[in-house]
Amino acid sequence: MADYVITFGVEFLILVLSVLIFKLVNIRLDTVSFSEFTVSKRLNAFLIPLLMIGLGVSLPKFLPISSEKKQVSIYYTSLIIICSLFLFITVLFLFIPKVFSDIVFGDSFHKRLILANLGYVFSLMFHSCLYNYFRGKFNFKISGFMQAFNLGILPFVFIFVAGSIEQYFIYTGIFTIISCIVVSVVFVPLIKLQWSEIKENLNQIVAYGIQRMPGDVFLGLFLAVPSFIGTNYFSLTEGGQIAFCLSLFNITIAFMSPINIILLPRASKIVHEKDYTQLKSITFQLLKMSTLLGIFNLLVIFLFADFIIKIFNVSDIESTSYILKIIFTGVIGYSIFSVIRSIIDAFYNKARNSFNILLAFALFVFILFLLKYFNVLTLANSLISFSICVNFLGLITYLSVYKIKKLS
The predicted model scores a pTM of 0.73
Span of 7-11, 143-147, 216-220, 244-248 with lowest mean pLDDT: 7-11
- Residue by residue, DSSP assigns 308-348 as HHHHTT-S-HHHHHHHHHHHHTTHHHHHHHHHHHHHHHHH-
Is the pLDDT at 102 greater than 70? The verdict is: yes
Is the CB of residue 172 less than 8 Å from the CB of residue 123? yes
SS3 29: coil
pLDDT per residue over 183-242, tens digit each? 999 999 988 888 888 888 888 888 777 877 777 778 888 888 888 888 777 777 788 888
55, 64, 79, 217, 250 from 222: Cα distances, Å: 20, 31, 27, 8, 12
Task: Please give the C-alpha separations between residue 239 and each of 117, 154, 323, 364, in angstroms, as whole numbers.
Answer: 18, 26, 11, 18
pLDDT in tens, 105-157: 766 678 888 888 899 999 999 999 999 898 888 888 898 899 999 999 999 99
* pLDDT range class, residue 358, cuts 50, 70, 90: very high
pLDDT at 310: 84
- Kindly tell me if the per-residue pLDDT of 24 is higher than 80: yes
Exposure on the CB side of residue 340, measured as CA atoms within 13 A: 32
Residue 37 one-letter amino acid: F
Confidence of residue 94 (pLDDT cuts 50, 70, 90): confident
Burial string for 341-377 (b: 16+ CB within 10 Å, else e) reads: bbbbbbbeeebbbbbbbbebbeebeebbeebeeeeeb
Range(s) of the domain holding residue 388: 2-407
Q: Say if residue 271's pLDDT is above 70.
A: no
CA–centroid distance for 220 within its chain: 7
Is the distance from CB of 129 to CB of 55 less than 8 angstroms?
A: yes
Say whether pLDDT at 269 is over 70.
no
Euclidean distance between CA atoms 315 and 329, whole angstroms:
23
Read off the pLDDT band of 103 (50, 70, 90): confident
- Percent of the chain surpassing pLDDT 70: 89
pLDDT in tens, 308-344: 888 876 767 888 899 999 999 999 999 889 888 877 7
For residue 264, pLDDT over 60 is answered with: no
The winner for highest mean pLDDT among 55-59, 167-171, 227-231, 404-408 is 167-171
Rounded Cα–Cα distance for residues 266 and 153 (Å): 28
State how many domains the chain has. 1
Q: How far is CA 24 from CA 103, 214, 237, 331, in A?
A: 27, 34, 18, 26
Q: Residue 247 carries which DSSP code?
A: H
Residue 264 contacts residue 342 (beta carbons within 8 Å): yes
